[in-house]
Amino acid sequence: MYQFETKCIQSGYTPKNGEPRTLPIYQSTTYQYDDAAALGKLFDLEESGHMYTRISNPTLEAVETKLADLEGGVGAMLTSSGQAANFLAVFNICAAGQNFIAMDNIYGGSINLFSVTMARMGIEVRYANDRMSDAEFEALFDENTRLVFGETITNPALTVFDIRRFAALAHKHGVPLIVDNTFATPYLFRPLAYGADIVTHSTSKYMDGHANVLGGCIVDGGSFDWAASGKYPELTEADESYHGVVYTKQFGPAAYITKARVQLLRDFGCTPMPMGAYLLNLGLESMALRVQRHSENALAVARFLKTQEKVLWVNYPLLEGNAYYELAKAYLPLGASGVVSFGVKGGRDAAMKLMNSLKLAKIVVHVADARTSVLHPASTTHRQLTDQQLEAAGVGPEFVRFSVGIENVDDIIADLQQALDQI
Ligand SMILES: Cc1ncc(COP(=O)(O)O)c(C=O)c1O
């Protein structure tokens, strides 16, 4: 009912008469009950309520409600990092002996998680790309394929995921599409409205927005019909760890996110602190304004870099002439986030010289917060990737990832100008 910007501020926490106006931090691991039997009902999932903060907490719940509202889902679950969110999102419906399809230019940390760590759990990832024909993509599916995974705007390749196309292909094979929407944020794009079924985030990026608190979340769109698909007994048949609860029967459209919480968060324990959720909520309150400014500044920076003779190429989805320009116009009319990448003439040495000469923009591993920052992915975040994986991620030695902050854009451009002059 409210517009997006209003939800960023108001959603999730509505105080009653005389209660604190802003979201309280419930710094408690546990909850008291007058009646032992009532607590037993919580353990059997017969009634809802908080029992232990590893599984749920009122501060976290308020932020989860806001995130579900912002993405347009039926429920959300916070995790202690984006890595934990992506792991749990996949592991919730994919087990040993099964496989899933992921786009090959997603975040390097997700590639490591999927290719190395999850492989050790007996889960196979099959990589795809958007240059494949439908037939080539569909040839990756077999009867053990459980989901398709992609990123709205990839980190750091900055390609735009054609969600309508890949959602339709996933659904044709009876599996859901999971989209990591970290770079776009729901302000710029809401994947669930375009056919995605589950959305994940590293909330450590624009959502927190201040590089203060690590976190992640999973949002369930509630639209995927697990029972009709027939491929997910873990959701449609009895869970012995809860006395035979059948998630689709007991929780309807919220089956997936309920299982993720009561089974996986319970067992893995990657739950954020209430204080972390509180800080995330502060970030969410100003997210719409910040992401709007990040996107405006980034487009101005990309246009500036394009005019520079020492710059080999500039990549920003909404920059005229970009390979993903048409897709970005269609999916991201409000902006394409604050991340711009570019290559400098002179390869690795020139890239290093430029980075060392920047004054306002600091060299940090992080991306997507209020402060302008810069990174050389090939020697840092993407160091563990093979040459083939680096090529798929579009990360060459001259590649500089520039995370445009919300400072005055004239200062950011002046900083780039003086650094380019040093090369
Ligand atoms: C797109 C994307 N997904 C997931 C992650 C992992 O998130 P975190 O660092 O919060 O674990 C990142 C981190 O950079 C990311 O950029």
pLDDT one-digit tens code per residue, 220-239: 999 999 999 999 999 999 99
- Position of tokens 């920059």? 319
Q: Is the pLDDT assigned to residue 391 strictly greater than 90? A: no
Q: What value does the mean pLDDT take over residues 388-414? A: 89
> To test ligand 1's pocket by mutation, which of 83, 337, 382 has the most ligand atoms within 8 angstroms of CB?
83
In angstroms, rounded to a whole number, what is the distance separating the alpha carbons of residues 406 and 143? 47
Q: Is the pLDDT assigned to residue 385 strictly greater than 90? A: no
Ligand 1: residue whose CA is nearest its atom 7: 82
DSSP string of 245-259?
A: B-HHHHHGGGHHHHH
Q: 143 with 380: CB under 8 angstroms? A: no
DSSP string of 15-69?
A: --TTS-SSPP----SB---S-HHHHHHHHTTSS----BTTT--HHHHHHHHHHHH
Whether the bond between 156 and the residue before it is cis, its omega within 30 degrees of 0, is yes
In angstroms, rounded to a whole number, what is the distance separating the alpha carbons of residues 382 and 385? 6
Q: How far is the CA of 83 from the centre of ligand 1 (A)?
A: 6
Would you list the domain boundaries of the chain? Answer: 4-283, 289-422
In angstroms, rounded to a whole number, what is the distance separating the alpha carbons of residues 217 and 76? 7
Instruction: Tell me the HSE value of 45 on the side-chain side, using a 13 A CA sphere.
Output: 21
Q: Is the pLDDT assigned to residue 172 strictly greater than 90? A: yes
In angstroms, rounded to a whole number, what is the distance separating the alpha carbons of residues 365 and 373? 9
Per-residue pLDDT, 43: 82
Per-residue pLDDT, 390: 72
Give ∠ CA 52-272-71 in degrees, rounded to 5: 105
Structure confidence by residue, pLDDT tens digits, 337-348: 999 999 999 988
Per-residue pLDDT, 378: 78
Q: Is the pLDDT assigned to residue 36 strictly greater than 90? A: no
**In sequence order, what are the residues at sequence separation of 6 or more whose Cβ sits closer than 8 angstroms to the Cβ of residue 35?**
none
pTM: 0.97
> To test ligand 1's pocket by mutation, which of 78, 80, 182 has the most ligand atoms within 8 angstroms of CB?
182
Token output for 245: 């609860």
Per-residue pLDDT, 347: 86
**CATH architecture observed for domain 4-283:** 3-Layer(aba) Sandwich (3.40)
Strands (E), 235-336: 311-315
Closest ligand 1 atom, residue 83 Cα:
11
Whole-number CA gyration radius for the chain: 22
Q: How far is the CA of 5 from the centre of ligand 1 (A)?
A: 24
Q: Is the pLDDT assigned to residue 298 strictly greater than 90? A: yes
Q: What value does the mean pLDDT take over residues 355-363? A: 96
Find out if CATH 2.70.98.20 is the number for domain 289-422.
no
Q: 258 with 75: CB under 8 angstroms? A: yes
Closest ligand 1 atom, residue 214 Cα:
10
Q: How confident is the model at residue 178 (pLDDT cuts 50, 70, 90)?
A: very high
Give the pocket of ligand 1 (CB within 6 Å): 81-83, 86, 107, 109-110, 151, 155, 180, 182, 202, 204, 214, 216
414 sits in the region (left: phi over 0; alpha: psi -120 to 50; else beta) called alpha
Q: How confident is the model at residue 250 (pLDDT cuts 50, 70, 90)?
A: very high
Structure confidence by residue, pLDDT tens digits, 40-89: 888 888 888 999 999 999 999 999 999 999 999 999 999 999 999 999 99
Q: How confident is the model at residue 213 (pLDDT cuts 50, 70, 90)?
A: very high
Q: How far is the CA of 86 from the centre of ligand 1 (A)?
A: 9
Instruction: Tell me the HSE value of 417 on the side-chain side, using a 13 A CA sphere.
Output: 10
Token output for 134: 């439908």
286 sits in the region (left: phi over 0; alpha: psi -120 to 50; else beta) called alpha
> To test ligand 1's pocket by mutation, which of 88, 179, 201, 204 has the most ligand atoms within 8 angstroms of CB?
204
Q: Identity (one letter) of the amino acid at 399?
A: F
Q: Is the pLDDT assigned to residue 373 strictly greater than 80? A: yes
Q: How far is the CA of 401 from the centre of ligand 1 (A)?
A: 15
Q: How far is the CA of 237 from the centre of ligand 1 (A)?
A: 33
Q: How far is the CA of 422 from the centre of ligand 1 (A)?
A: 32
